[in-house]
Structure 1
Amino acid sequence: MNRSASARDRRQLRLARAILRDYELGRVSLRKLVSNLDALWTEFSLDEAWTNRYREEWFSLETALALMSDDAQPREWDPSLERAVGDAVLALEDLLAQYPVDDDGDED
């Protein structure tokens, strides 16, 4: 389903796509991904169901980050956490695709 978004939301959507792409390319850490997606969430003025789903997927990433960086119990890389992160990233990409925007920054 394609939806329309305000110019401001389109900018936020482009930023969310860019940070997801940077994460997938290994340019940013999971910590940076979680932080940036959180900041973007607070700026969206899209429909409530969409933003709730975005937040749910963000929470999956945040939970994985918390589990991986628990200083009390050093952990080896857990394949189930890696899958959870991958699933959340894919779900976020699918969610973002519901609001198509030009990647070139044009607002029209």
Structure 2
Amino acid sequence: MINEGEFDGSKVYKDSKVCNMLTMQEFHRSYHEEIGVTFASLYPGCIAETGWLREHVPLFILLFPPFQKYITKGYVSEEEAGKRLAQVVSEPYLTKSGVYWS
């Protein structure tokens, strides 16, 4: 973990996302103009029914997916998340470099 604290799966995810975004921005700053590669990062949505919740209490694991589906509307399926990723790497109108797609 970034702060070297006690392991917390949710914080590890958030820390890794921040590191991913900072790395992308640095690659964009350092290389985009020189070599023309597009650098971006993506949040495809909340994929709530995968193993990333395994460290939480069982009640949270049970309630989080329906909460994301019906209350926050942030839930996406693994298939939809994959489609969003494919869209970011293949659609010409999404070729802006140095951005975070959400």
What TM-score do you get using the length of structure 1 for normalisation? 0.34
Structure 1 or 2: larger strand share?
2
Higher relative contact order (CA 8 A, sep 6+): 1
What TM-score do you get using the length of structure 2 for normalisation? 0.35
